[in-house]
């Protein structure tokens, strides 16, 4: 009897999250689609099931303690263990502009979802992840969160504003390293994925990469073998050795 691995992807009713769910599902995982909107999540799960994927919707707001707790209790009851957690949910709000003019409330909201959200979900689901023989945690970060990349005056990101969003992803990178160190002895690998500038609702579909390309790095990190890396920041799942600078 083959036991299917189980994965939870947050922010999975559309865009990169849905693509990650589709790719993991096609590879044989049972996928749980974590979504704030229950109806949209159910529709996305139904679409995946019609494509032959074992998919389920899970209502979860990563910025809300009660919502995350309820989601964790449901997974505890229904599956008992979790093999893969992809912390994909994220937001970018506010008008782009210099850091000196960004609204603090907007920055605070982005940190709540982009930084504290992944930590909140990871903390709540660690008991389930620890029951997996080889759990994998993937943080969906961004090249905009790299201090080295954004500080390169000749680089791609030098002229990009969005200080609050960038800072929220930089903080997420630090949490990735700290969790990887903490969980190393338990065999749980924690890595950050840079999907690249991908055409999604977040950027008005102006990105030059499609969601399937962006999802590949997360899927690769979610399915690493025992000798795979941990505590790293990676772009392009098909060339994981191509490590970006933090």
Active site residues: 165, 169
Q: Are 75 and 1 in contact (CB under 8 A)?
A: no
d(CA 37, CA 14): 11
Q: Cα separation of 54 and 246, whole Å?
A: 36
Nearest to 11 by CA among 91, 68, 84: 91
Query: 3-class DSSP state for residue 161?
Result: coil
Cα angle 153, 141, 22 (rounded to 5 degrees) comes to: 135
Phi-psi domain of 11 (left: phi exceeds 0; alpha: psi -120 through 50; beta: other): left
Contact 140, 169 (CB under 8 A): no
Cβ-proximal residues to 51 (8 Å cutoff; 6+ apart), any chain: 22, 25, 26
Residue 132 structure tokens: 């997996």
Question: With contact defined as beta carbons under 8 Å apart, do 240 and 230 qualify?
Answer: no
The vertex-199 CA angle with 198 and 201, nearest 5°, equals 120
Under DSSP, is residue 35 helix (H, G, I), strand (E, B) or coil?
strand
């Amino acid at each position: 009897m083959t036991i299917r691995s189980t994965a939870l992807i947050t922010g999975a009713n559309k865009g990169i999250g849905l693509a990650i769910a589709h790719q993991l599902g096609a590879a044989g995982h049972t996928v749980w689609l974590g979504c704030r909107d229950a109806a949209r999540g159910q529709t996305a799960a139904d679409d995946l099931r019609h494509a032959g994927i074992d998919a389920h919707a899970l209502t979860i707001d990563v910025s809300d303690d009660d919502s995350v707790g309820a989601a964790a209790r449901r997974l505890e009851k229904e599956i008992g263990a979790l093999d893969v957690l992809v912390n994909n949910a994220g937001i970018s709000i506010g008008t782009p502009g210099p850091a000196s003019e960004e609204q603090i409330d907007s920055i605070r909201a982005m940190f709540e979802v982009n930084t504290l959200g992944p930590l909140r979900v990871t903390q709540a689901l660690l008991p389930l992840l620890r029951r997996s023989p080889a759990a994998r945690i993937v943080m969906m970060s961004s090249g905009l969160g790299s201090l080295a990349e954004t500080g390169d005056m000749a680089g791609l990101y030098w002229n990009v504003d969005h200080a609050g969003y960038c800072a929220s992803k930089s903080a997420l990178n630090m949490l990735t390293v700290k969790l990887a160190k903490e969980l190393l002895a338990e065999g749980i690998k924690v890595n950050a994925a840079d999907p690249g500038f991908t055409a999604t609702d977040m950027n008005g579909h102006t990105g030059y990469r499609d969601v399937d390309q962006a999802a590949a790095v997360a899927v690769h990190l979610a399915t690493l073998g025992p000798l795979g890396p941990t505590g790293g920041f990676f772009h392009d799942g098909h060339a994981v050795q191509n490590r970006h600078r933090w």
